[in-house]
Amino acid sequence: MVIVRLAVIDGGQGRAGRASDHVRIEDVEAEAQRRLRICRVQEWRAREFITGIAVPADIKHFELQVNFAAQAICCLSPIPADFDDDLYWPTYWGE
């Protein structure tokens, strides 16, 4: 069973005055990469390339979710200052 936690993204309106003009798309992309590193997605990809053993479906699914969340956050105007809050990102329940 997969449990998905969703939240409404107000584009920073929920915390008036906290949205910052200096949050860049690169910051959001870096946060997405950080979350993927924690899950060791690159190691799974390397293993797949070297051994031919497929990346587990839950890892692939999590990677898709993180990339989608990053794209959605980057489309907000302005990007919320708390974009790195777990509220905006999927959670990986694996190892």
Chain position carrying tokens 């950080």: 34
Reported as a single tens digit per residue, the pLDDT across 53-68 is 999 999 999 999 999 9
In a domain, 11, yes or no: no
Reported as a single tens digit per residue, the pLDDT across 20-52 is 458 999 999 999 999 999 999 999 999 999 999
> What's the pTM?
0.73
Question: 56 lies in which domain range?
Answer: 22-88
Q: How many separate domains does the chain show?
A: 1
In a domain, 26, yes or no: yes
Which secondary structure element, helix H or strand E, spans residue 67, and what is its range? helix 57-74
In a domain, 12, yes or no: no
Given this model, what pLDDT does residue 68 score?
98
